[in-house]
């Protein structure tokens, strides 16, 4: 946003605010002097913008980072940042305007930042009418990993506030964020389902043992999201959790979307069928446009000036690591039996343009490790069980036939073949979506399709949602499932209080270049760990 986009509040708006402050009732028993002073104090306080949703950093790359925050009125974002927590010799920036048309969110791109140094920042907002009215600061910090002198670590997971499991402050809120924070990762890959726009939250849920799970509820979480403000309200709901706010202030986010940012299992061009009664707006392309805007507004997301709708992107951290974030929602064909025999648009998952991008990006990468963040797993079968789709319809890559690649699997085969033929080394996949954690090793000697190099895939999640699974495994690419985080016969949609919430931690040793990946539960307990030596 630039200053010429500023919509100046009217004098009438200011006078209304001032009158509201002056009209605040005083408690009984105050002195006459206190009563005389109080209206002015209250008015001054009311003029100060408030930061409503903490601060966040994200989209960190070689020497830059996005900072994000939100205020409660039209105001200018002010940022200080320094290399010491006392903000000695801080650089001060008058940032963009937070305006109503973006729900009073603002973000700024910091450039020329040092690598492997903790950068401390604080955000304030300045009222646009009274320039001396400035919010209290909210502080955060970040590290941009890079070079070869220091280890790199990252967390990954997804699936947040789904199946009616919201913020239960008596239970501790989104406890998984505090567990991840204790690992002090350099950044966090949020692998989608940041919100459950199609999942209303009730105030109380009765658990199997008869006890009551009590949710914090807001108007936006009381119905399915359809308007832009509904989607915004879903994102702001998750920012009511103290654990997430603390994590956001210390760990940069890399985000992608999956389906529940819009509606379960959606695809472009879909029209919600008559069997789904909750929606008045039935065009998924309309809902998706609103959801995408809200997602951009509520994340520290660097918008591509040449393609402002683009979600797939890469983040280079020098010789040790590059991360590739896919978009498996915007370019897919319709969900179907997924058995097409040719790689046609109706079988698309990434689409032709994104496929060219990921191939060339992997080919150009000079980093030892290439992490592909895929919001959906490769071999776990995910059926589309929405009431308005026919049986035998699939949502993810796999189609449960265990045979040669068909349907969306053709894109997987194309990418894996490209990686092998160009001898691209050390590719690891991380994902979420299925609401349990797993570790899978793929090798051609076990597969029907064999033209690929062996690789690992790690699944995290849910962060805070119902636990499901384990899912059926499609054998096309030779998966060897080394670990599953839940019992095979576990009842479905387990609440967070059952402790089946999961995340992963990846760590690259700067000396040996070995990547260690571990899977953890909501309390941080190490459930599975593997060391992966780099191919040289």
294, 301 contact by CB (below 8 A):
no
The pLDDT of 441-468, averaged and rounded, is 98
CA neighbor of 370 nearest in space, from 192, 508, 477: 508
**Residue reference for tokens 């969306």:** 408
The HSE-up count of residue 480 (CA atoms within 13 Å, CB side) is: 11
Q: Quick one: pLDDT at residue 5? A: 33
pLDDT grade for 387, boundaries at 50, 70 and 90: confident
| CB-based burial label for 293 (10 Å; 0-12, 13-18, 19+) | middle
Q: What is the pLDDT of residue 23?
A: 31
Q: Does residue 482 surpass a pLDDT of 60?
A: yes
Cα separation, 147 vs 139, in Å, equals: 27
Identify the CA nearest to 484 among candidates 436, 532, 415, 412. Answer: 436
Cα distance between residue 34 and residue 313, in whole Å: 57
pTM for this one? 0.91
What HEC string does 231-243 produce? Answer: HHHHHHHHCCCHH
Phi and psi dihedrals of 338, rounded to 5?
Answer: 65, 45
Work out the number of other CB atoms within 10 angstroms of the CB of residue 165: 26
Q: How confident is the model at residue 292 (pLDDT cuts 50, 70, 90)?
A: very high
Mean pLDDT lowest for which of 42-46, 76-80, 403-407, 518-522?
A: 42-46
Domain with CATH 3.60.21.70 in the chain: 152-532
On average, the pLDDT of the chain sits at 92
Q: What is the CA radius of gyration of the chain?
A: 24
Can you read off the two tokens belonging to residue 249?
A: 């202030």
Cα 212 to Cα 206: distance, rounded to the nearest angstrom = 5
Q: What is the pLDDT of residues 312-332, one digit of tens each?
A: 999 999 999 999 999 999 999
Section 12-35 average pLDDT: 34
Rounded Cα gap, residues 180 and 159, in angstroms? 15
**Omega within 30 of 0 (cis) for the link into 462:** yes
Question: Does residue 173 have a pLDDT over 90?
Answer: yes
For 338-359, what is the mean pLDDT? 96
The residues that bridge with 126 in the sheet, in sequence order, are 76, 134
- Contact by Cβ (8 Å): 509, 480: no
> What integer pLDDT is reported at residue 362 of this predicted model?
98
- Evaluate the CA torsion angle 127, 128, 132, 137 in order and state its sign: positive
Q: How confident is the model at residue 43 (pLDDT cuts 50, 70, 90)?
A: low
Question: Which pLDDT does position 39 carry in this prediction?
Answer: 55
State mean pLDDT over 507-511: 98
Please name the helix (run of DSSP H) or strand (run of DSSP E) that holds residue 421, with its range, or none.
helix 409-421
Q: Collect all residues with Cβ–Cβ distance below 8 Å to 259 and sequence separation of at least 6.
A: 192, 193, 265, 266, 329, 395
The CATH fold of domain 3-143: Immunoglobulin-like (2.60.40)
Q: State residue 421's pLDDT score.
A: 98
DSSP class per residue in 502-522: EEEEEEE-TTT--EEEEEEET
Which helix (DSSP H) or strand (DSSP E) does residue 156 occupy? strand 152-157
Instruction: Please report the pLDDT score of residue 45 as a whole number.
Output: 76
pLDDT band at 388 (very low <50, low <70, confident <90, very high): confident
Using DSSP, state whether 12 is helix, strand or coil. helix
What's the average model confidence in pLDDT over 108-113? 97
pLDDT score recorded for residue 29? 33
- The pLDDT-based confidence of 19 (bands split at 50, 70, 90) is very low
Under 8 Å between Cβ of 251 and 58: no
* 151 half-sphere exposure, CB direction, 13 A CA radius: 13
Average pLDDT of span 124-149: 96
β partners of residue 65 = 110
Cα separations (Å) of 535 from 89, 417, 418? 44, 17, 17
DSSP state of 350: S
| Every domain range in the chain assigned CATH 2.60.40.380 | 3-143
CA distances from 322 to 71, 179, 506 (A): 33, 25, 13
* Residues recorded for the chain: 536
What's the pLDDT at 27? 31
Fold that domain 152-532 belongs to in CATH: Purple Acid Phosphatase; chain A, domain 2 (3.60.21)
């Amino acid at each position: 946003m630039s200053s010429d986009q500023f919509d100046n509040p009217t004098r009438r708006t200011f006078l209304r605010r001032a009158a509201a402050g002056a009209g605040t009732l005083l408690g009984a028993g105050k002195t006459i002097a206190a009563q005389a002073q109080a209206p002015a104090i209250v008015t001054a306080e009311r003029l100060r913008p408030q930061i409503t949703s903490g601060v966040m950093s994200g989209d960190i790359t070689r020497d830059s980072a996005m900072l994000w925050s939100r205020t409660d009125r039209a105001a200018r974002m002010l940022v200080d940042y320094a290399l010491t927590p006392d903000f000695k010799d801080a650089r001060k920036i008058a940032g963009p305007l937070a305006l109503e048309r973006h729900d009073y969110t603002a973000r700024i791109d910091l450039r020329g930042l040092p690598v492997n140094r903790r950068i401390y920042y604080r955000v304030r907002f300045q009222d646009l009418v009274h320039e001396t009215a400035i919010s209290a600061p909210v502080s955060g910090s970040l590290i941009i990993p890079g070079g070869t002198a220091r280890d790199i670590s990252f967390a990954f997971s997804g699936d947040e506030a789904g199946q009616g499991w919201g913020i239960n402050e008596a239970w501790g809120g989104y406890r998984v964020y505090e567990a991840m924070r204790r690992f002090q990762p350099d950044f966090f890959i949020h692998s989608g389902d940041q919100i459950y726009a199609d999942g209303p939250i009730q105030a109380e849920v009765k658990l199997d043992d008869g006890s009551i799970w009590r949710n914090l509820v807001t108007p936006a979480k009381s119905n399915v999201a359809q308007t832009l403000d509904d989607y915004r309200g879903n994102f702001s709901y998750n920012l009511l959790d103290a654990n997430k706010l603390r994590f956001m202030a210390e760990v940069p986010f890399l985000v992608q979307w999956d389906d529940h940012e819009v509606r379960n299992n959606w695809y472009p061009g879909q029209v919600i069928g008559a069997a789904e009664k909750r929606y008045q707006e039935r065009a998924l392309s309309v809902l998706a446009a609103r959801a995408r805007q809200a997602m951009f507004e509520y994340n520290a997301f660097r918008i591509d000036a040449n393609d402002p709708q683009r979600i797939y992107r890469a983040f280079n951290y020098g010789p040790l690591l590059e991360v590739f974030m896919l978009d498996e929602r915007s370019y897919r064909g319709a969900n179907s039996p997924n058995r097409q025999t040719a790689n046609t648009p109706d079988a698309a998952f990434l689409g032709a343009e994104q496929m060219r991008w990921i191939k060339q990006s992997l080919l150009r990468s000079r980093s030892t490790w290439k992490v592909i963040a895929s919001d959906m797993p490769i071999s776990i079968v995910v059926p589309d069980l929405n009431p308005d789709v026919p049986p035998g319809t699939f949502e993810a890559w796999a189609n449960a036939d265990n045979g040669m690649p068909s349907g969306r699997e053709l894109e997987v085969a194309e990418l894996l073949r490209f990686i092998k033929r160009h001898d691209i080394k050390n590719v690891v996949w991380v994902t979420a979506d299925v609401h349990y954690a797993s570790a899978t090793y793929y090798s051609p000697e076990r597969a029907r399709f064999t033209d690929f190099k062996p690789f690992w895939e790690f699944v995290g999640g849910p962060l805070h949602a119902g636990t499901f699974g384990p899912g059926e495994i499609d054998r096309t690419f030779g998966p060897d499932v080394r670990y599953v985080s839940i019992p095979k016969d576990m009842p479905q949609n387990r609440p967070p209080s059952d402790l089946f919430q999961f995340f992963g931690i990846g760590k690259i040793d700067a000396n040996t270049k070995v990547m260690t990946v571990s899977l953890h539960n909501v309390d941080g307990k190490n459930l599975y760990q593997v060391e992966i030596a780099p191919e040289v």
